[in-house]
Structure 1
């Protein structure tokens, strides 16, 4: 069972701390076995505004965790406690995956583990992070950054996106989607999406694209073009692109490509269909095309992905 250690310190913000607890404390899908073992670690009782928290273990526990999560801190100008910095460095040296949510990036930067890496934080604090830690490559325009073993998210909702990204990496798209449904959030927003996008899908029924998204999702196996989408939405291609960028932070073609890859992931996880059949069902045409786009997007070939995530399913489903 992979251990997720949540570092608790005075001055944490409630939202990101509670979010991490909600996401990693239990598996709502019943598909991931084993799930994570969540441990809250701190130097002793810690304060979060009006609340006091009693951690499960001390900060030295971080070095024995598989994943260490640093929630947001309220005061980015305050000195990071030395014991927390030492614990983060020890965890990094031990090979733990380090994750900062929102302004938790200031803790990772102060510990030196972001030196030479890309990182992000809440847009209101990206300039301060870059000025204070010039060795960190701060990207102010993304939702989250994945450096492999060191990851960082922007603020609030982007922290949810990063947590779902971690679950998708560890347990696959089906499990991540189940968690997203329980949280009533979109199952996937790419890390490179702009922070200022208000929502990845239209939030109102009267949005110009409200009917287009489900229509397109039902037809991913067909050779949809931007012109097809524009015609369905009863607008010009240029107008469609503008509405798409506003609603999703990306272009119609990129959105379609992402949805096709997600469909392929789910089919790889949950069916025994051949790569050729899955390629056609996901609208990617041939196995060669699927392999090329899948490897570029997910980082591994579809066959490797299937072996990894089918092996995590209960025996009854295999």
Structure 2
């Protein structure tokens, strides 16, 4: 494939450059060989989001390759954001996959360290972690300059990858959060998608005290809560998440908890619009509800 499209920015990159309010969402790759459900879910997001994240072994659970899944979405006209985790590949494989992603027209990559192997369904597998997210970001920046990690020139041309990173504004360590964020910016992160946000005062403090000088878009993580039980599960099992009692009570007392969850997500998007440049919506197994959430939040189509 020709490298003639090297300078063409991705849809996400263009939207960020023109200071639009950015909407991204997440879909899980299939667990098996049939991608039809993933594609059906992602198609419902066409025209409503600037990019669709494809998870890469999230929670260390086996699923289809994020790169292959991203290509499948691109083939049906959906802008993919290919997540790439360091857990399962060494620096040779990571560079190889980045070259492959570029050749296949994938421009957006979210650089992640990856969840620990013991968290998933193959606890006896060997984690690699040859690199971690900051070093992966540096690797992308180097490849974009036409150089590999051995400081050798790439004879077949540089890459053009638009790199993003994850951030957790609700991290218990404020100094650690600041250091990690600044290192990711220095390493080349062009946008940040946050973990689930439940404390918007904390998000505002992070943006004003840490993120503002970098002038990189922060996309607040919005999670569709389906019930009080769902919210309580997240509180118990996801580090750094504390969904407040008033939200859990709203869900518990609602006649239709799922509809209440949609209302809460829409309210959070409206709040995020006053604080940051975008949102990243996670509606696990109910991605089809994201357009309704956006409608209730008053978010217009992006096309």
Tell me the TM-score normalized by structure 1: 0.30
Higher helix share: 1
Structure exhibiting the larger radius of gyration computed from Cα positions: 1
Which structure's relative contact order is higher, taking Cα pairs within 8 Å and 6+ residues apart? 2
**Length-normalised TM-score, structure 2:** 0.31
